[in-house]
């Protein structure tokens, strides 16, 4: 049985769109802001280009903090094998550095990262909530 290869028309449907609550209130005259005013939270919720930019800026600042930690960690731990190979008879130095010397810098680095990440998120929330 030969099949008809003509193109069929396809109907794409989705959930019904509703006007945002602020638009409905504005149309009734109860919204205090002018019609062109959009809050950053609205931009993010509606996934506009500006909302995407807000979220991307948060992600970039978090990535910048993470890359800073990785760079400092690499500079802190990276040269240790060269140091240990240059001093082959200093086994106690190796144990002291690896066993005790690295903990304080690692804890301080982790503490700095957590504070930086929380500050980035707090600044982002302050921006989104329009304070």
- The 10s digit of each residue's pLDDT in 39-81 is 666 666 667 777 777 788 889 999 999 999 999 999 999 998 8
- 44 CB-contact burial (10 Å; exposed 0-12 / middle 13-18 / buried 19+): middle
Q: How far apart are CA 65 and CA 71, in angstroms?
A: 10
Task: Give every CB contact of residue 63 below 8 A, 6+ residues apart in sequence.
Answer: none
| Number of residues in the chain | 131
Q: What value does the mean pLDDT take over residues 77-90?
A: 87
Burial of 3 (0-12, 13-18, 19+ CB in 10 A): exposed
User: What pLDDT was estimated at residue 127?
Assistant: 80
Task: Give the whole-angstrom CA distance, residue 32 versus residue 22.
Answer: 10
Distance (Å) of CA 112 to CA 34, 55, 79, 90, 124: 42, 22, 22, 32, 18
pLDDT for residue 96: 86
Q: Does the pLDDT of residue 108 top 90, yes or no?
A: yes
Average pLDDT score over residue span 77-94: 86
Q: From residue 13, give the alpha-carbon distance in Å to each of 28, 43, 82, 96.
A: 30, 24, 64, 67
- What pTM does this model have? 0.61
Q: Identify the band that residue 35 occupies on the pLDDT scale cut at 50, 70 and 90.
A: very low
């Amino acid at each position: 049985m030969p099949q008809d290869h003509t193109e069929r028309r396809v109907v794409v449907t989705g959930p019904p769109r509703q006007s945002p609550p602020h638009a409905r209130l504005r149309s009734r005259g109860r919204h205090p802001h002018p019609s062109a005013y959009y809050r950053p939270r609205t931009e993010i919720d509606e996934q506009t280009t500006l909302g995407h930019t807000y979220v991307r800026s948060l992600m970039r600042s978090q990535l910048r903090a993470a890359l800073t930690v990785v760079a400092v960690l690499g500079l802190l731990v990276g040269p240790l094998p060269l140091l240990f190979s240059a001093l082959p008879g200093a086994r106690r130095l190796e144990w002291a550095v690896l066993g005790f010397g690295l903990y304080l810098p690692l804890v301080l680095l982790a503490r700095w990262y957590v504070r930086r990440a929380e500050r980035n998120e707090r600044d982002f929330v302050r921006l989104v909530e329009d304070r």
